[in-house]
Amino acid sequence: MNNQELLDAACPTINVFGAAYYFTPETLQAGKNINLGGMEFYVQGRAGQMGNCDPDAVSAAFGYFKPALLKSILEAARAKVEPRVAGAAHLEACAALGRAKLASLPQLEAFVAVLEKVNDAADPDSLALYAAIRTETLASDAPGRAMQLIAILREFRGSAHLVALRAVGIKSSTAHFIKRPDMWKQFGYTEDEAPEVTDVELQKMAEAEKLTDALVEPAYAVLTQDERKVLIDGLEAVKAVLSS
């Protein structure tokens, strides 16, 4: 399995299931336990490791969302809970899903070791959200840690993708509209703000995807052939469990 085949097999699954815990009933309850609503816990939780920085910095790290929406959510959340507290609680909610769903996965310890090897090899320079979350202390148990590492590697690629979009000259809001037009309003935009998508934008999106692969490839390239199989087999097992 070459590097591109590895990325093609691993990254889509990480993208989908690294977000699997965001709005589960258990995660929503964890937010309520610290007096945060669903979107407040989602935004403040994901951004928590960035600390009490200006909402504009959080907006730049997230991308995709309309800044005014993120600002209003953050201001409401910060009036209730300190960012680092929310960040730690959010990552713990991630671990809780792992403990509930992943404990019976085969080769779990080996799977965690491979995820950690990729995370350790990843370069956080210019990747604000990923650089922040990777500073958090992770769960000591294998199922919790596995789920956390999948979520963190999702942030790795997501942050790299923002850099790639900037490099090819496409706004993250436009990229969001191209990928998820059905969620345009949920991210704070109005119908009147929808961009016109031409073949030029679609070509830039394709270029951005290739550049994103190039940015994350060195982290995955450190894996041996045996480790690549452990990673893909583990992700397939995660997909099966979390999809059921």
pLDDT (0 to 100) of residue 212: 98
pLDDT (0 to 100) of residue 244: 81
Mean pLDDT of 169-193: 92
Question: Can you tell me the distance from the alpha carbon of 207 to that of 210, in angstroms, rounded to the nearest whole number?
Answer: 5
Q: How far is CA 63 from the centre of its chain?
A: 12
Q: What is the pLDDT of residues 7-54, one digit of tens each?
A: 999 999 999 999 999 999 999 999 999 999 999 999 999 999 999 999
Tell me what percent of the residues of the chain surpass a pLDDT of 90. 98
Question: Can you tell me the distance from the alpha carbon of 160 to that of 126, in angstroms, rounded to the nearest whole number?
Answer: 8
pLDDT (0 to 100) of residue 47: 94
Tokens of 115: 């995820």
Mean pLDDT of 223-241: 98
**pLDDT band of 217, cuts 50, 70, 90:** very high
pLDDT (0 to 100) of residue 26: 97
Phi-psi region of 176 (alpha: psi -120 to 50; beta: other; left: phi over 0): alpha
Tell me the three state secondary structure of residue 180. coil
Mean pLDDT of 137-147: 97
pLDDT (0 to 100) of residue 151: 98
67 lies in which domain range? 3-243
Question: Which candidate, 178, 172, 156, 179, places its Cα nearest to that of 66?
Answer: 172
Contacts of 52 (CB under 8 A, 6+ apart): 78, 82, 83
Question: Can you tell me the distance from the alpha carbon of 24 to that of 41, in angstroms, rounded to the nearest whole number?
Answer: 12
Q: What is the pLDDT of residues 54-101, one digit of tens each?
A: 999 999 999 999 999 999 999 999 999 999 999 999 999 999 999 999
Helices 108-121 and 199-221, interaxial angle, to 10°? 110
Q: What is the pLDDT of residues 148-164, one digit of tens each?
A: 999 999 999 999 999 99
pLDDT mean across residues, the chain: 96
Question: Which candidate, 146, 168, 71, 158, places its Cα nearest to that of 122?
Answer: 158
**Number of domains forming the structure of the chain:** 1
Q: 238, 17 in Cβ contact below 8 A? A: yes
